[in-house]
Structure 1
Amino acid sequence: MAQKWEHARVTGPSVAAGRELGRVEFGPDDLRRVREVVRTIVVERMPDRADNAVLAVHEVAVNSIVHGGGHGVLLIDETDDSLVFTIEDEDGTGSVPLLRDAGVDATSGRGLWIAQRLSDSLTIEARPARTRVRVHLRLAS
C-alpha cells in the first residue's frame, strides 16, 4: 500500500474539465502499484496503447523518485478526447528537466525522452517548489 506523503499533493483538479479516474501517492516501493493502476485504466479505454502508457508513466514516476525528493503523486484524468497522467513531485529546483536522447553508452537519462515518444504529448511545468509532468494519450474518436 502506498504511503501517504504529507508534503506531496496536487491541489485542485489536475486537468481542467477532466474527470479524475485515479490517484496514487507513491514512493520507491510503489512503482508496481503505479503500473497496475495505469494498466487497469488504459486497458478499458485503449487496450492497444496500454504497454506504452504504462512505460511512459513509469519512466516519469521513476524520475520523481530519483530527482524529486523520493516520492510523488500520480493523477489520472479523462477529458473529452484524452487520458492525462499527471505526475507531480517536490523537485524544488524550479528548472525544467531536460528532454534528451542520452548517448548509446549512457546508463540513465532517457526517461522523459521515452515518455515523450510513447505519448501523444508531454508537458513539463517547473515551479520553485514543484515539478509537474503530464503524459497525454488521445482517445480514439
Structure 2
Amino acid sequence: MSATPGPREVPPVTLLESRFTRDDLPRLRMLVEQYADHQGLTEPRRGEFIVAVDAVAVNAVEHAGGGGTLVLQRGNGHLACHIHDLGPGFSADVIPALAPGLDGHAGGRGLWLAGLLTDELTISAGPGGTRVTLAVRLPR
C-alpha cells in the first residue's frame, strides 16, 4: 500500500526586488499593488496588504538607516513581502500587545498595524540587520 503524496511545496517565485529610500515609497506602494492585483489578491485584502507593507517600509526608512530592500514573492498560495534593512535590529517583543498608545509604548505602531492586516508577520534580526516578512493568503 502506498501513501498518496501531499501537495508539493513549490519554491517561491520572486515577482519584485527593489532597494528603496524615502523617495521611493510611493513608487514601491504602486508596484506592490500592481503585483498583488496581478496575483489575484482582491480588495479589501489588497489594500490592507499595501498598508502593511508601507508601514514596515516606513519603519526601515525611519529607524534603520534610511531604506532597505523589498522582495515580493508568491509561493504555496501566499503572497509574501520581505523587507530587509541594515538597522541595529530588535525582537518581536517590541510589538505592543495592546493598541499603541494604550499600553504606555511610544512606538510599535507600524509593526502592530502590519500584524493586524496580514496573515503572518515574522521578524528576524541579527548583526546583518532586520528582516520583516509579511504574508497573506491568496484566493484560490
Normalising by structure 2, we get a TM-score of: 0.82
- Corresponding letter in the other structure for 1:87: I
Q: 1:69 corresponds to which residue?
A: 65
Deviations 1:51-82 (A, max 9, x none): 11110000000000011111100000000210
How far did 1:102 drift? 1.4
State the structure with more CA Rg: 2
RMSD (Å), alpha carbons: 1.9
Q: Spell out the pairing of 1:10-89 with structure 2 (5 A cutoff).
A: 17-44=11-38, 45-48=40-43, 49-89=45-85
Mapped partners of 1:33, 1:136: distance in 2 = 20
Deviations 1:79-99 (A, max 9, x none): 021000000000134x32511
Where 2:81 maps in the other structure, the secondary structure is strand
In structure 2, runs of 5+ residues without a counterpart are 1-9
| Matched-pair identity in % | 34
How far did 1:50 drift? 1.5
Q: 1:115 corresponds to which residue?
A: 114
Q: 1:91 corresponds to which residue?
A: 87
Q: 2:134 corresponds to which residue?
A: 135
How far did 1:108 drift? 5.1
Mapped partners of 2:35, 2:115: distance in 1 = 20
Where 2:113 maps in the other structure, the secondary structure is helix
Normalising by structure 1, we get a TM-score of: 0.81
Mapped partners of 1:41, 1:59: distance in 2 = 18
Mapped partners of 1:113, 1:78: distance in 2 = 23
1:124 counterpart = 2:123:
yes
